Amino acid sequence: MKSKRTRLDRFISMQLSVNSRDVKLMLAQKRIVVDGSIASDTQQLIDEFSHVVFDNKVLQSNSPRYIMMNKPIGVVSATKDEQHKTVIDLLANIALLSLKECANLHIVGRLDLNSSGLLLLTNDGRWSRRLTSPEKKITKLYRVTVENIITDDYVQAFAEGMYFSFEGITTRPVKLEIISDHVAELSLVEGRYHQIKRMFGRFRNPVLKLHRMAVGNLLLDPELSPGQCRMLTPSEVNYIG
């Protein structure tokens, strides 16, 4: 999701259907205010969250939204789907945001249809790119329940990484902690296609449950039941990773 940055003069021209000469005059007359300050530079860059006012008329007033959801099993991580209920459908039913605001959201790191847990949604493209950028190496924590017993062999194999011939890549090291015979917690910094299921598949050990517990420093709020969500606090937005 690209962030919508543009020059101020282009934005004003489009909003008011005027030419660049008119915009320069408006700026000279101090009729345009951006984020509380009188604008003077036609080349000033603004984004979708810049507050822009012309002659006391608000031209743009969008707010960034950051949402945590406890995604339930059976709901698809998508904005639209013809067969399944989506996380946007859940959000609209909760009425945390208006329908228009819901339509502007995108998902930060998807979860499979049959996976559950922490899912993040936002309308801030720069924030989501920061969280998903491979260079940032932000850790995701999962709890996995499998059909067969997990042995110590898994710990070393996951830590060494596994070669996936289809993509021609070797996964980055994954930390696996055995919780019980059939349950483990995994920490990984990437999210290849069905990566966790495929890694356990090397041991012919089917994954029965996959639940995301954390992204970076952000833990799934234990007060959120499956299907519930809430806004992130400013500190959570800033210090997630």
Q: Which residues are catalytic?
A: 112
Q: Is residue 161 within 8 Å of 133, Cβ to Cβ?
A: no
Phi and psi torsions of 141, nearest 5°: -110, 130
Helix pair angle (8-16, 20-28), 10° resolution: 110
Using CB atoms within 10 A of its CB, is residue 237 exposed (0-12), middle (13-18) or buried (19+)?
A: middle
| Residues 212-235: b if buried by 16+ CB within 10 A, e if exposed | bebbbebebeeebeebebeebeee
| Residues 146-164: b if buried by 16+ CB within 10 A, e if exposed | beeebeeebbebbeeebeb
Per the DSSP assignment, residues forming a β-bridge with 175 are 187
DSSP state of 136: G
